[in-house]
A and B are shown apart, each in its own frame.
Chain A
Amino acid sequence: MSETRTDRDAKTGRGAHSAATLSFSFDGRRLIGRDGDTVAASLLANGVTVCRETPVSGAPRAPYCLMGVCFECLVVIDGVGNRQGCMVPLRDGMTIETQHGRRQPEETQG
């Protein structure tokens, strides 16, 4: 999906529910998300087009199924890699990063 428009007009009625906004970071950028959205949905809503690079060829990938089946939306959340962004509810203060290919041994300290 390209940048996803949050349709706040009468069409979807979004905005009628004043869900709390959450603050999180993606690759160091501060972003705002809606409480109740998943990590993958929040990234899409913020116009993030790529969430990982494949371990095989380094090709860019983005969420594909949004229902836990395809494992394309894998991201690093609070330092833990291979998290399915579409299955993880967004939390305030989350640090989310693009997952670059394979996990390297030096990343697993801690």
Chain B
Amino acid sequence: MKPLTDIDQLAEHYDLAIVGAGPAGLSAAARASELGLAVLLVDENPAPGGQIYRSITTTPVSDRAVLGADYWRGRDIVARLKRSAAAYAARCTVWSIAPDVESDASPFEIGLSLDGRARLISAGQVILATGAQERPFPIPGWTLPGVMTAGAAQIALKSSAIVPKGRTVIAGCGPLLYLLAGQLAAAGAEIVAVLDTTPRRNWRAALAALPDFLRSPYLAKGLKLMAKARRSLRFLGGVTSLAVEGSDRLSAIRFERGGASESLACDTLLLHQGVIPSVNLSNAAGCAHDFDPVQHCWVPQLDDWFASSVPGIAIAGDGAGIGGAESAALRGEVAALDTARRLGRITIPERDDQAAPIRAALGRTLRGRRFLDLLYKPAAQFLAPIVDDTIICRCEEVTAGQVRDAAKRLGVTGPNQMKAFLRCGMGPCQGRLCGPTVVELIAEARGTTPAEVGYYRLRPPVKPVTLAELASLPQSEAAVKAVVR
């Protein structure tokens, strides 16, 4: 591995640029590099690992039991990258991927920044391995200090060995809820309750997918996590409503279960209702997306090799649809093989031969995923908040009531029009935390589906870039001609 610490160390051109150094990006970079491609792996975090293996090379958590054996497996993935010849730029942000109009040989122009300086480089192929983000969980008061995502607590633990102080409540649903509750408890957090919002009726829908799950590698792991968490922590199931209480910070969580309302005083509330693909970069790069009704989120349109609708851009890992860390690493390898084939480095039969065992393993890791998706599909009231005052766009402070009113009374039909009316999705997070909710609210108000409503049309730069960074870009002749009259 060639670590790049300064933007000037980046080459003008790479055969393959990979965005994201989680399991998918690391594996794709290692495999492509082993096949002889000139690879650049870019990630905006200080160290490799993505979220699942965050800080795997730098974590101050030395007691291996706290984060569990699955976490430490990330070491092998990073070690493989280190043995490879790939270039790796940490703390480097990709803010744009666009067709390179000036070159036939290198189809992509990639805009990146490192330490406040920007560069444009070219790449023959791109693999997006930008992973997942937590599904927004808009409830009344969720913007108050003291409320965080469950993932945030996990990140704080992995990267800094800190846990919330005082009474902590975890609320929501999904397999990660048990893992996180276990990790935080093992690290010494005081978890006073886990409020489980899994809708009871989901079991009926999920039962059809149960046989596959019974043969899945998730089962033993999941049962162990659940049993351990349930033995040691207070679980309250069947929670149908949540509201944060407090004036300038969280003081309690009010919840309903079985028709009764209760309030629980706490210092920290951690919210989680599953993860969804992070689509900002793929969407801005022009890749087509569909709404996946089972995972209930937008996923890019991909072929068997994870190639997107834009020739030369593949999407691997959880960004291709949620599959978990093990499947992410395997998807990265599959995408890398096809990239090498497209660049003429290996033949189709060679690609297929090398992919066969990886595909078999991938099938095994994804077995049972459908059961989890159906069982942990969030309840409607947590996707499209019922209480009008609930803020759904945290940046621009737009409420569920405003979106509903604009959809019903003013006839706004889609999220992009909604931006013009309410500014939702126009704050610094660029729709990452309101997009899914805006779509749900419009679909509900107009009696249609998220698939029909569509999603934000996102544009580069997908992360904020300062004018100084843009001004410092080298000026090509074509760029000068474009503006000089």
Contacts and interface: CB of A to CB of B under 8 A. Distances in A.
A21 interface: no
A31 interface: no
Nearest to A68: B44
A70 B143 contact: no
Kindly state the interface size class of chain A when it binds its partner: 35 or more
Given A12-B63, A12-B187, A17-B60, A66 B151 contact: yes
A15 B455 CA distance: 46
A7 B188 contact: yes
B475 interface: no
Given A9-B188, A59-B143, A70-B394, A45 B152 contact: no
B46 A61 contact: no
B396 A56 contact: yes
Contact of B249 (A49, A66, A68, A71): A49
Contact of B152 (A12, A49, A63, A74): A63
A40 B134 CA distance: 18
Contacts of A50: 145, 248-249
Contact of A17 (B62, B66, B153): B62
Nearest to A83: B464
A65 B133 contact: yes
Summarize B's interface: helix, strand, loop or mixed: loop
B164 interface: yes
A97 interface: no
B470 to A, nearest CB: 15
A69 B188 contact: no
A52 B95 CA distance: 24
Interface in A36-71: 36-38, 41, 44-45, 47, 49-50, 54, 56-57, 59-71
Given A7-B187, A11-B187, A70-B432, A41 B145 contact: no
A15 B156 CA distance: 15
Interface string A3-15: 1111101111110
Contacts of B162: 4-7, 14, 41, 44-45
B429 A41 contact: no
B166 A69 contact: no
B121 to A, nearest CB: 21
A60 B143 CA distance: 9
Given A54-B397, A67-B51, A72-B394, A61 B143 contact: yes
A11 B146 CA distance: 23
A60 B145 contact: yes
Contact of B145 (A13, A17, A38, A62): A62
Contacts of A57: 397
Interface string B156-171: 1101111111100000
Interface in B235-271: 248-249, 267-268
Nearest to B249: A49
B155 interface: yes
B451 interface: no
A63 B51 CA distance: 16
B416 interface: no
A14 B45 CA distance: 21
B354 interface: no
B48 to A, nearest CB: 14
B68 interface: no
Interface string B38-56: 0000001110000100000
A69 B148 contact: no
A36 B44 CA distance: 15
B230 to A, nearest CB: 21
A87 B62 CA distance: 23
A14 B161 contact: yes
B66 A12 contact: yes
A65 B187 CA distance: 19
Nearest to A37: B160
Contacts of B363: none
A12 B146 contact: no
B145 A71 contact: no
Nearest to B136: A70
A98 B153 CA distance: 22
A56 B58 CA distance: 38
B394 A65 contact: no
B267 A2 contact: yes
B433 interface: yes
B74 to A, nearest CB: 16
Contacts of B166: 2-3
A6 B433 contact: no
8 contacts: A1-B146, A3-B165, A5-B188, A13-B62, A17-B62, A44-B156, A60-B144, A60-B248
Given A1-B152, A11-B187, 16 more contacts: A1-B164, A1-B268, A2-B268, A4-B163, A12-B163, A13-B61, A13-B62, A41-B156, A61-B143, A63-B148, A63-B152, A67-B151, A67-B152, A71-B395, A71-B429, A82-B464
**A-B residue pairs, 10 tightest by C-beta:** A13-B62, A14-B161, A62-B145, A5-B165, A66-B152, A71-B428, A2-B267, A11-B188, A13-B63, A12-B161
